[in-house]
Structure formats: C-alpha cells, structure tokens
C-alpha cells in the first residue's frame, strides 16, 4: 500500500482557498504525494503557519488547520508514528495531540503534553471494557470506566502573557476562554465536532506529562477552580455547592495521578467520581437559578 502525505503545495492552496471546512477535509484526502521520502515535517508546518509573526500565532494556525483537516477517530490501541497518523488524516485525541506537538516542535514552539480525566455519561459497556484491560494490562487502563474517560491535549507557551495556554486539536480550541467555554461552560459549548465533546461533561483531573507518560504538574486547580470561577466573574465561589466542588477536585487529583501512573485502580473510586459529577450539576442549577432571580 502506498504511503500518502499531503503535499506542501496542496497545503498552501488549502490555507488560501475560501472553501468550507468540509471542502478542506475532502480536498486534503484527495490531494497527496506517494513518495514519503520527500515529506518534510518542518516545511509542512511552515506552509500552514505562513503569515504568522509570533510563536503563538503559529500555534493558532497549526491548530486551526489540524482541527479542520484531520478527523477524530476512535481508539483502536494501535501504536502509530506521527507520519502514520498523518497518512490516516486523523486519529484519537492522543494521536491528534501527537501530530500537533510534532508540528509545533519543528518550529521551536514551547509546549507541554496534557492528560485529563473527565466525567462521562454512565456506560456499563465502557466499564466492562476497561475492567478487561485492567486485568490484562494493568491499572493505567482504569483511566476510563463507567462514568469517566481520559483525554489528551497540549499547553503552548505564550511569551506575551508569560502563561501556558490550552490547545486542544480534537476539540478545535486554543486559548483559555475558548477552552473553558468548550469544556466547563454551563451553556451551549463550542467544538469543531460536538460528537466528541457532548460526552465530556466536565474535566475532574488535569496534569502535564512527559515523554515517559508520567504525570507532572497538577493543573486541575488552575483550570477547574480558579479559571472556572473567573469565567463567571467570581460568582461561582458564592454558590452553596462551590466548596464541595473544590474539595472534590482536590481529593480526586492524587487518585487520578496514581491511575495514570499505573499505581492505582481508579474504578475503586467510582462513587467519588459520580459525586463530583452530581456536584457539577448542582453548581449549574444553582447558578442558573440565581441568574433567573435577577
């Protein structure tokens, strides 16, 4: 089977073309070159980010292009190289994040890998699948279960603000407010493909991670407490369930870290995860009720 790679010339045409996002995806799949030895990842990234004057602008252009041209595909537990993911024109969240990191790395853009666990609608099918994998492969596979799942994205460094900024190619967002409004917002959420985000009710654990997949900095309090409250202009902190939310996020963090690192079975904390989900719903109801009274 021939190796298929999008040509740089086609990429430039795609970026400048006024066609729709769907037209971009279709054209991207049709237009390829068969000689993979001629493929240059850096030129690939440069062609997409042309016109950008800062690293953050380059990161924005690369994420926008990737989100519109690569499809999210269900996990099949196969390990692929970046080039193999590019050939498929899609992948799961980890694979899309891997392509994004490879692209920004060629341009010298600073980034950090991020691992997340989020609340999901209850699914006994997912629980049984996870239990089978835990039995055969270890506790690291408990990061998904009946009411939760894992997700991968990236933080890029913005030199202007001196902050690490969320960038999620699966969801199609870059920037703190867009991320918050796609992941924790009580109202209608934005995403490049809502079939991906509809089941991701709210994150409960967020860590930076390294190439060995060990969890590093805990970012949950930053995103799910401080930034979440600021998104609603500090009003969440005055709600009856806010302290319960903060306690729940703080308490589940180490359990999730240990699960990611293969040291604990997160399925043992199924009730705790469900309780955090209920607290999030209470927060939303309290906020909406307070808003209606005004």
Q: Where does a domain end: 82, 108, 134?
A: 108
Assess whether 96 and 116 both reside in one domain.
no
Assess whether 141 and 267 both reside in one domain.
yes
Q: What percent of the chain has pLDDT over 90?
A: 69
Residue 64 to residues 60, 144, 261: CA-CA distances in angstroms? 6, 28, 31
- Model pTM? 0.85
**Residue 74: pLDDT over 70:** yes
Structure tokens at 120: 């999901």
Assess whether 222 and 126 both reside in one domain.
yes
Assess whether 123 and 214 both reside in one domain.
yes
Half-sphere exposure of 100 (CA within 13 A, CB side): 40
Res. 294 pLDDT band, cuts 50 70 90: low
List, in sequence order, every residue forming a beta bridge with 207; answer none if it has no partner. 115, 218
Domain membership of residue 71 as a residue range: 1-108
Assess whether 12 and 123 both reside in one domain.
no
Assess whether 97 and 148 both reside in one domain.
no
pLDDT in tens, 18-43: 444 334 333 433 333 233 445 688 99
Q: How far apart, in whole angstroms, are the C-alpha atoms of residue 106 and residue 7? A: 17
Q: Where does a domain end: 108, 128, 146?
A: 108
Assess whether 59 and 162 both reside in one domain.
no
Assess whether 272 and 180 both reside in one domain.
yes
Assess whether 145 and 189 both reside in one domain.
yes
Assess whether 172 and 159 both reside in one domain.
yes
pLDDT in tens, 231-271: 999 999 999 999 999 999 999 999 999 999 999 999 999 99
Structure tokens at 287: 């906020």
Q: Where does a domain end: 77, 108, 139?
A: 108
Assess whether 185 and 291 both reside in one domain.
yes
Q: Count how many domains the chain has.
A: 2
């Amino acid at each position: 089977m021939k190796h298929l790679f999008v040509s740089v010339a086609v990429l430039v045409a795609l970026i400048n073309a006024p066609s729709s996002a769907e037209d971009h995806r279709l054209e991207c799949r049709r237009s390829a070159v068969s000689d993979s030895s001629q493929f240059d990842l850096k030129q690939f990234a440069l062609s997409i980010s042309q016109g950008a004057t800062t690293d953050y602008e380059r990161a924005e252009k690369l994420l926008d292009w990737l989100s519109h041209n690569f499809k999210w595909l269900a996990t099949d537990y196969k390990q692929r190289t970046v080039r193999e993911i590019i050939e498929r024109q899609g992948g799961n969240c980890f694979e899309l994040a891997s392509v994004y990191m490879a692209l920004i790395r060629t341009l010298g853009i600073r980034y950090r890998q991020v691992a997340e666990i989020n609340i999901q609608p209850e699914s006994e099918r997912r629980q049984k699948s996870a239990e089978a994998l835990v039995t055969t492969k270890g506790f690291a596979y408990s990061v998904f279960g009946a009411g939760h799942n894992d997700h991968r994205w990236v933080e890029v460094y913005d030199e202007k603000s001196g902050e690490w900024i969320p960038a999620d190619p699966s969801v199609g967002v870059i920037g703190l407010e867009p991320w918050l409004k796609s992941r924790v917002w009580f109202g209608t959420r934005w995403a490049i493909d809502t079939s991906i985000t509809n089941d991701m009710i709210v994150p409960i654990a967020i860590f930076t991670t390294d190439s060995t997949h060990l969890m590093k900095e805990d970012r949950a309090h930053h995103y799910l407490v401080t930034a979440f409250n600021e998104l609603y202009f500090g009003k969440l902190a005055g709600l009856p369930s806010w302290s319960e939310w903060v306690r729940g996020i703080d308490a589940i963090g180490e359990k999730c870290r240990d699960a990611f690192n293969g040291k604990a079975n997160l399925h043992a904390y199924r009730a705790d995860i469900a309780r955090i989900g209920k607290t999030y719903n209470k927060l939303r109801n309290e906020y909406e009720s307070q808003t209606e009274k005004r």
